[in-house]
Every structure is written in structure tokens, then in C-alpha cells.
A and B are shown apart, each in its own frame.
Chain A
Amino acid sequence: MTARAQAVFLVNLVQDVNILRPLIVMAQRDFAMDVRVLVSGAFEGRDISGIWRRELAEIAAETRARLDQFRSEFEALALLDGHGVIFAASESHLRGHATCHDVFRVAPASYLRVTLQHGFECVGFRHSGAHKLAHGSTASFAADIVCAWFATEHIDAISAAQRGKLVVTGPSAVLQQFREPLPQDASRPGLVCENLHSVRLNAAGDMKAEFVDVFSAFCKAVDDGTRTPAVCLRPHPGGQYMLRNKVPLPDNVTVENAPMYRLDMRRFAYGISAPSSVLLDMVLAGIPTAVWRDGAGLMDTDNYADLPGVSSLADWVAFARKAQEDPASFASGREAFLARFGLVIDPADVHARYSRIFDMTLRHAPRLAATRTVSGIVAVAPPATD
């Protein structure tokens, strides 16, 4: 008898967990697949606070997934001992994505390989000016299928030869949105997200210092002296720039490091961030959302042109005030932003689109399994000796 088809999830960067989680749940809940989570050796080092290890353990317990660690492509190959589908959230030919890319390159033919878009501006999907400077205008994938968040005509950074791999599924994040009613809370803080580690802020000038300065001044300006938290700072889960660099934080700032699926953004009065996928999360949560732009205008923010921009302290303060006084006035900008790229955001639609990939895997499972007896590579690694 052929073994059950596997749904394998490669976790390498901490932010992969957020992208993969809804699909791990789907694989087990909706398709009863044999769920495996393969965690890279480097993941542990990146998870400074240990948050993500706990999250993975919880996800695995909830979905009865098997958690394995791999420290080399050979060990990963040895763990790929069946057939089915492998998902990776950070896979491309770029150096930073080499871990998942290399596992995809060596994966046996008995697995369908699927790469997920993991950000709004994302290498291989849509590049900002800074992405182009850092990585070139296109990237390519080792996957068989590449899942995009928005209409393919807006995906201009995939290598032309690989366009045939594209499938539009929408962001997996909409499968884990908060739906329960929000308690009425008089004082709602603002949310400021930083991604100062990002290549976007390295293009030119001293953007990091500029952001830190305006952020500190803003916190001081909105300090009402009551010691009530006025601003919630969310560092990028992988970057953690403000915390790693021990940037002093004013008293009225709280830090929020919970995974996105535990953070109900609806409880914030507004959100501000430099260009980053978190802006999409803010928009999907329906809160007034502003894009931080550097004063000199060096940073490429074109993809976020429909959202209001803030640069100077005065801009920040004016936006925060208007967001609290007239939040409805920001709705049209959000809608324009979502419409411009044809983002697929209806959860039922997104679920159906990902379901097609699982369905296809299960439909072809016997043929995938059969490839193992004909050709290809099988690895037998010695048992781990920790």
C-alpha cells in the first residue's frame, strides 16, 4: 500500500511561520494529509527570543504535524522520504533564500514544489527600486508552482522563462484574520512598524537615523503625560532593528512582537510604516494607514502611492489626529490600493485557490509515488546524535 501523501513545509526565516501557518492548518484539517514541518538549522539562531519555536511547536501539536530539523540539503533529502507537496515561503535563486532553494533543487520528483509570495513587494514578484538595486530586476525559482498574491500583469519581477509557473492564490494571511467583534475601547494606541534592516532603507542617505528621529519626536509629541501607551512599536519579526540596536524607546511606547496572526490590528487607531508588507496587513484590518517616506524622497514608495504618506513630524502628528477624528476618510485610499494590483483578498476565494493545489497533489499522488521506484535520488542519513 502506498503511504499517505505528505504536505511538507520548509521553515527557514522566522517570518515563514506566519505565511505557512494557514496552509499547514488546511493540509491537515481539510485534506487529512501527512503534515511535515522541516525546520532549517539556521532558524533557531534567528529566533532570538524563542517565540517562533514555541509557535511552531503549538502549530505542530494542533495539526499533528511532524517537526524535523535539517542542517544540510542531504539531511533534508533524507527527510523527504515519500511523495506529495512541499511549500516554501522564502525560496528564490537569491543568496538569502538559498536554504529553501537548495532543498527544492534536490527534492525528489515525487514532490510538487510550491513557492509562496511572502511579501507585497517581494523578490521575484514585484521589486521596489531598492530591490532592483540590490538584487536585479528579476529573480527565479526552483519551484514547480509559484503562488502570487495579485494579478499576474502586476508581477514584473519573475524571470520571463518562469512565468508559466505563476498561479494567483492571494495572500495566505487572509485565512487567519480576526473576525470576532472588537470590544469598544476608548483609548486606542497607534501602531508604528519598523523594518529598518530592509534593503529598502539602504538605497541612499541616512534613512535609519531619520526614521528613528521622527519616531522619537512623534512619541514625544503625542505624550499626554498620563503614561498611557500612545504608540505600539512592532519591529519586523526577522529584522528587529530597534531592539537589536538597543534604540532607546520613550515611556509611552510599548513593543509588540507577537506573530501577526496573534495581533488584532483592528485595535489600533492607525498604522504607520515604511514601505513593507505590514502596510497590507494594516489595510486589510481596515485602519487608517500611512506610508513613511524619507524627507529627501530617495526611497521608492510607488507601489504604495494610493496610501497617504508621512515624512516630517508635522505630517505624523496631522495624520494621527485625522485618523482618530475621521477614520472613515481613509477608506477610499485603502480600496484604491487593493484594487490597483488586483489583490485577491476574499478568504473563501483564497481558500479555494490553495485547495486546488492540495487537490491536484492528492489526485496525482499515485503517480508521484511511482516516480520513486523508477529514478531519482534517495538519501539515507544517519540518525541525529544530539
Chain B
Amino acid sequence: MKFTFVIPSREFLASAGARIRYLRMVTLMEEAGHTLDLVPIADFGNLRDPGEVVVFSKCFDARAIVFAAQCQAQNRLVGVDLFDDYFSQSNDSRMTMYRTWLAQMLDRAHLAICSTPRMAELVASLRPQIPVHVFNDPASDLRLNAMPELLAGKREQALQERRIKLGWFGIGDNPFFSVGLEDLTAFGARFACLATRGWTIDCTVLTNARALDADRLAAIGNLPFRVQVELWTEKAETELLLDSFCCFLPVNAQPFSIAKSLNRAISALTAGCQVVWAGYPLYNRIDDLLYADPAELVNDLEQGTLRLSARSLGRYAQLMEELASIEVEVTRLLTFVEGLGRPAASEGGKVRALVHGHQTVGDAHKAARKLGILSVATPFAPPTLTYDVIFTGHPADGGLLMLIAEPVRERLLPDTSVPIRFFGEINKTRYVAVDWPQDTPLAMKDWSSASLPDLLAAYRGIFPAVHRRLEAVFGPVEMMISESSKLPFDPGASA
């Protein structure tokens, strides 16, 4: 089988998410006689044959919807890979764009791949009919042979220096949610009790530069132990984990955080670090190897009964095999996909239209037109693109004026009876206007100068009106919506 995973950009491959999840998958797929290509979405339109299975990963704009529709029409298996929960916060208007995107992707998907059971539950709650597979983030190296010596060395050094080398690593912030460094500073005081027992805590934090603003740095400065802050690189992470005795992995209980994978705990354990967690019990599937209480960690350290030790390596190997083995994960994924069979042939016959909302993506417009999909402007859409159909405010009565570009006129239903007249040129393209006999809904005199609250209020109602009119002149229409605005423009296609 040929798989294509569509990714946001080439740079994405350098991120921890892509590195852990995809890069090793490529080799193993090939060994199993399949092929897997990681293709930036900007290049997807030029692919001659994306293969039988096309999975979209983190491509949160209308290009993914257009390509998913195209792949569906070509009877390919379409999937989405979901590993961040930007979707379940249904009362959070900042996430509208993501919910709009996911709903449309799931409507065209034959399968979903999720990084955690929690994400799988989310998909099941939105579209119970879609088969979902949990693909655990694999470990890069289990270090089974090196582990006894690594663990013994770390323990000996800690006892000798009476010092806990504590590590915290990862993305320290998020544009929407309180995460990362804020979890560290919220829960960090748990280690204060060790000082009274004569232990020194030496903490190193590896994170992204954007997260290191004054608020977070000041909060880190108030932790009851010394903290050295450095910028994250893959190399620095490996060195930190091999050097640290323990990693601290606090997690808060918001939906975004509890949908996270085990990958940070796995990375820490496989480098011979003890792990102390705090907050939400995200890591309960590997609970036997972890600590919730730093005092207990130190007790075990002093008594030689650490949870991750030469004695527990059997359990460690078993858990890693179950939850973090790339070989196992790839085999399970292949079994899952093979079990799905070929997708049913798509209905066909419908005219497909990409309808642009308040903010759109120029490349989605181009991709749509290249695939013969109508590119349709709502009155909210930016005027810079050359659309096939434009809906705009009627200058006379504020009704919805429909303009059709001359070149797509030939696609109108032969028996359409609506009166059509020449309108004029827009962006050097000739348009005809459709005059509807009774056309007064959604009246807004001047869309270009309407205030934001007026636009937000009018937004949702436009799409059924546009859909009705498109179907009246083109026949049955499959509508896709392009909305990339960070404002809560909600077309009602919510997941």
C-alpha cells in the first residue's frame, strides 16, 4: 500500500511531534513492503499519485478540505491524524476555526488516527461512524541494554552529592492555553520538602524562546530551588535527559492538556530518568514506574528501591513494548488500515464549491480552481481573488447579489430559468449577474463598511443562502467552507 501523510511544511519535520511520530515510521513501512511519503501540503497538488491512503496532519486550513474532497472523489482512503485537542472546547470562541475545519475534515474522512485514547474518544463523540486508531508516540530508543548501568550511575551520583538533578523540557507555552512552564511553576513547590531533608535540587529547564517572557521567567525565579533555563534543541534534550536523575512532568486538567500523549514520560524513562508527575494523572497507564510524591522518590533513592531500576526492567520493557514501540505501532496501524477495505465509490455528480468566509487562504482558492472546484466568495471574503462566483451586497436594496464569471457560465444547469444579465468586469474577469425574483434576505446595505458585530451576526445565515442559490443554478452542490479567521466566524459547520 502507498501512504501519503500531508504535513503543514517541510520545517514541521524538525518538530518533536513529527520527529517522534513519523520519521521512523517511514523506514518500517518500507520494510513491511509499503511506502510512506511525508508531503508538505503546498506540494500535494503537484503529486501524480498520492497512493491509496492519504492522511492529513496539522494542516488546519481549507487546502486540506479541498484535497480531502478530491481524494475522496478518487476513492482513496482519507484520514486525519489528530494529536492536539483544539476541538473539544465547544464553549471557547477562539477555537471556532479549528472546530469548523475538523467538522469538514471528518465529513470527508474514512479513518482517524489519534495519539491518545482521549483524542479517539473526541472523534467518536463527534462522528461515531468513523473508525479510529490510537497510534502511540513511539520511543526513539528503549536503551534496554544500557539501562542498568545508566540507572546505577545516576543513583550513585545523587547519593554522593545529595543532590537531585531535576529536568523539565518541552514547549513552554501555547497561544491559547496555560500549559508548560505555567504547570511547572504551579506545581514546582512540591520539591521544597526535600530541602528540609538536606537534599539540593538543581533544576534545568529546556524550552522555546517564545515561552520565556517576563511573567514566566519571574515565576520560575520564585521556585524554591535553583533553576537554569536554556533554549531547547534536540541535542540539548538528549544530553539533559541522560544527565538528569529525575524529570518533573506536571500536567493541568484542562481538555488540551489531558489529551496529550505519554511521549514526555517515555522520553524521560528511556533515558534512565525517574519521573515525578503532578496534577492530572495523564500517565496512569505507566503508573508503576512513576512517582506522585517527591518525598517518596527520595525515600526509594535512599533505600535502593527506586521504581525505575534494574529490578523493574522487565515491567519497563513490557510497558514500552505495549505503549512506545514503533514496530508494534506500525504493525497495528497497518492491521487497522488493511481492515478497513477499499472505500465505497463516491456518489459523484455533485458540483463541488469552496466558499470563502471572512479570511481565506489564497492557495486553497488556487487548489480548488485547479481541480475544477468552484471558488465562491461570500460578501465577507477578501476582494483580491478572482472568484468563479461572487456573492455581494446588492447596491440597491441590500439583498444578496450573485455574480458568475463568464468562463463558468457553461456549467450552469441547461434548464435554469433565472434571469441573467451582463454585470461588468472585476479583476479583469467578466461577470454576469443573476437577478432573483424575490431576493430580500440578509439585507445589509453595505457589506464593505459593516461593523464587526454586524458581520459576526450575519455570518452564519449566509451559507445556507449561498448554498441554495448555487444549487438553483448549478444543480446539487457539495459545499466546502474556507474560514481561517481567528475571530469567531462560525458557519455552523461545527464539529
Q: Does B336 contact A (CB under 8 A)?
A: no
Q: Are A106 and B226 interface neighbours, CB within 8 A?
A: no
Q: Are B231 and A377 interface neighbours, CB within 8 A?
A: no
Q: Are B220 and A377 interface neighbours, CB within 8 A?
A: yes
User: Given A72-B209, A74-B209, is A378 in contact with B214 using a C-beta cutoff of 8 Å?
Assistant: no
Q: Does A161 contact B (CB under 8 A)?
A: no
Q: A78: nearest residue on chain B (CB-CB)?
A: B229
Residues of the A chain whose Cβ atoms lie less than 8 Å from the Cβ of B214 = 73, 101-103, 105-106
Q: A98: nearest residue on chain B (CB-CB)?
A: B214
Residues of the A chain whose Cβ atoms lie less than 8 Å from the Cβ of B221 = 106, 108-109, 376-377
Query: Which residue, A103, A373, A375, A377, has most C-beta atoms of chain B within 10 A?
Result: A377
User: Which B residues between 444 and 474 are near A, CB-CB below 8 angstroms?
Assistant: none
Q: Are B230 and A373 interface neighbours, CB within 8 A?
A: no
Q: Are A375 and B223 interface neighbours, CB within 8 A?
A: yes
Q: Are A375 and B224 interface neighbours, CB within 8 A?
A: yes
User: Which B residues between 217 and 238 are near A, CB-CB below 8 angstroms?
Assistant: 217-218, 220-221, 223-231
Q: Does A374 contact B (CB under 8 A)?
A: yes
Chain B proximity of A94: nearest CB distance (Å): 14
Complex: A72 Cα to B229 Cα, angstroms: 14
Chain B proximity of A99: nearest CB distance (Å): 10
User: Given A105-B218, A106-B218, A108-B221, is A375 in contact with B229 using a C-beta cutoff of 8 Å?
Assistant: no
Q: Are A73 and B213 interface neighbours, CB within 8 A?
A: yes
Q: Does B39 contact A (CB under 8 A)?
A: no
User: Given A72-B209, A74-B212, A105-B218, is A380 in contact with B226 using a C-beta cutoff of 8 Å?
Assistant: no
User: Which B residues between 39 and 54 are near A, CB-CB below 8 angstroms?
Assistant: none
Q: B214: nearest residue on chain A (CB-CB)?
A: A102
- 0/1 per residue, A361-373, Cβ < 8 Å to B? 0000000000011
Residues of the A chain whose Cβ atoms lie less than 8 Å from the Cβ of B227 = 376-378
- 0/1 per residue, B202-218, Cβ < 8 Å to A? 00000001001110011
Residues of the B chain whose Cβ atoms lie less than 8 Å from the Cβ of A374 = 226
Chain A proximity of B223: nearest CB distance (Å): 7
Complex: A106 Cα to B212 Cα, angstroms: 10
Q: Does A164 contact B (CB under 8 A)?
A: no
User: Given A73-B214, A105-B218, A106-B218, is A378 in contact with B228 using a C-beta cutoff of 8 Å?
Assistant: yes
Q: Does A65 contact B (CB under 8 A)?
A: no
Complex: A72 Cα to B226 Cα, angstroms: 21
Q: Are A380 and B225 interface neighbours, CB within 8 A?
A: no
Residues of the A chain whose Cβ atoms lie less than 8 Å from the Cβ of B224 = 375
Our pick among B209, B223, B226 for the contact of A373 (Cβ within 8 Å) is: B226
Q: Does A77 contact B (CB under 8 A)?
A: yes
Q: B207: nearest residue on chain A (CB-CB)?
A: A74
Residues of the A chain whose Cβ atoms lie less than 8 Å from the Cβ of B220 = 377
Residues of the B chain whose Cβ atoms lie less than 8 Å from the Cβ of A101 = 214
Complex: A375 Cα to B194 Cα, angstroms: 14
Q: Are A72 and B212 interface neighbours, CB within 8 A?
A: yes
Query: Which residue, A105, A372, A379, has most C-beta atoms of chain B within 10 A?
Result: A379
Q: Are A378 and B229 interface neighbours, CB within 8 A?
A: yes
Complex: A380 Cα to B230 Cα, angstroms: 5
Residues of the A chain whose Cβ atoms lie less than 8 Å from the Cβ of B228 = 377-380
Residues of the A chain whose Cβ atoms lie less than 8 Å from the Cβ of B212 = 72-74, 379
Residues of the B chain whose Cβ atoms lie less than 8 Å from the Cβ of A372 = 226
- 0/1 per residue, A63-74, Cβ < 8 Å to B? 000000000111
Chain A interface size band reads 20 to 34
Chain A proximity of B327: nearest CB distance (Å): 36
Q: Does A263 contact B (CB under 8 A)?
A: no
Chain B proximity of A17: nearest CB distance (Å): 23
User: Which A residues between 339 and 386 are near B, CB-CB below 8 angstroms?
Assistant: 372-382
Complex: A33 Cα to B212 Cα, angstroms: 30
Q: Are B217 and A74 interface neighbours, CB within 8 A?
A: yes
Q: Are A382 and B231 interface neighbours, CB within 8 A?
A: yes
Chain B proximity of A338: nearest CB distance (Å): 38
Q: Are A73 and B217 interface neighbours, CB within 8 A?
A: yes
Query: Which residue, B214, B218, B223, has most C-beta atoms of chain A within 10 A?
Result: B214
User: Given A74-B209, A375-B223, is A106 in contact with B231 using a C-beta cutoff of 8 Å?
Assistant: no
User: Which A residues between 63 and 102 are near B, CB-CB below 8 angstroms?
Assistant: 72-74, 77, 101-102
Residues of the B chain whose Cβ atoms lie less than 8 Å from the Cβ of A74 = 209, 212, 217, 229
Residues of the A chain whose Cβ atoms lie less than 8 Å from the Cβ of B223 = 375, 377
- 0/1 per residue, B410-421, Cβ < 8 Å to A? 000000000000
Q: Are A379 and B229 interface neighbours, CB within 8 A?
A: yes
Complex: A73 Cα to B229 Cα, angstroms: 12
Residues of the B chain whose Cβ atoms lie less than 8 Å from the Cβ of A375 = 223-226
Complex: A117 Cα to B225 Cα, angstroms: 34
Complex: A189 Cα to B147 Cα, angstroms: 83
Q: A380: nearest residue on chain B (CB-CB)?
A: B230
Chain B proximity of A128: nearest CB distance (Å): 29
Q: Are A106 and B230 interface neighbours, CB within 8 A?
A: no
Complex: A338 Cα to B194 Cα, angstroms: 58
User: Given A72-B209, A105-B214, is A376 in contact with B226 using a C-beta cutoff of 8 Å?
Assistant: yes
Residues of the B chain whose Cβ atoms lie less than 8 Å from the Cβ of A373 = 226
User: Which A residues between 33 and 86 are near B, CB-CB below 8 angstroms?
Assistant: 72-74, 77
Residues of the A chain whose Cβ atoms lie less than 8 Å from the Cβ of B209 = 72, 74
Query: Which residue, A72, A74, A380, has most C-beta atoms of chain B within 10 A?
Result: A74
Query: Which residue, B213, B225, B226, has most C-beta atoms of chain A within 10 A?
Result: B226
Complex: A281 Cα to B226 Cα, angstroms: 46
Residues of the A chain whose Cβ atoms lie less than 8 Å from the Cβ of B231 = 381-382
User: Given A73-B212, A382-B231, is A377 in contact with B225 using a C-beta cutoff of 8 Å?
Assistant: no
Complex: A223 Cα to B83 Cα, angstroms: 76
Q: B217: nearest residue on chain A (CB-CB)?
A: A106
Residues of the B chain whose Cβ atoms lie less than 8 Å from the Cβ of A382 = 231
Q: Are B217 and A377 interface neighbours, CB within 8 A?
A: yes
Complex: A73 Cα to B225 Cα, angstroms: 20
Q: Are A377 and B229 interface neighbours, CB within 8 A?
A: yes
Q: A73: nearest residue on chain B (CB-CB)?
A: B214
Chain B proximity of A74: nearest CB distance (Å): 4
Residues of the B chain whose Cβ atoms lie less than 8 Å from the Cβ of A102 = 213-214
User: Which A residues between 280 and 307 are near B, CB-CB below 8 angstroms?
Assistant: none
Complex: A194 Cα to B230 Cα, angstroms: 46
**What 8 pairs across the A-B complex have the smallest Cβ distances?**
A102-B214, A74-B212, A106-B217, A377-B221, A105-B218, A73-B214, A380-B230, A378-B228
Can you list 30 A-B pairs with a CB-CB distance of less than 8 A?
A: A72-B209, A72-B212, A73-B213, A73-B214, A74-B212, A77-B229, A101-B214, A105-B217, A105-B218, A106-B214, A106-B221, A108-B221, A109-B221, A373-B226, A375-B223, A375-B224, A375-B225, A377-B221, A377-B223, A377-B226, A377-B227, A377-B228, A378-B227, A378-B228, A379-B212, A379-B229, A379-B230, A380-B228, A380-B230, A381-B231
Which residues of B line the A interface, CB within 8 A?
A: 209, 212-214, 217-218, 220-221, 223-231
Which residues of A line the B interface, CB within 8 A?
A: 72-74, 77, 101-103, 105-106, 108-109, 372-382
Contacts A375-B226, A377-B228, A379-B212 known; 10 new A-B pairs at CB < 8 A: A72-B212, A77-B217, A106-B214, A106-B218, A373-B226, A376-B226, A379-B228, A379-B230, A380-B228, A380-B230
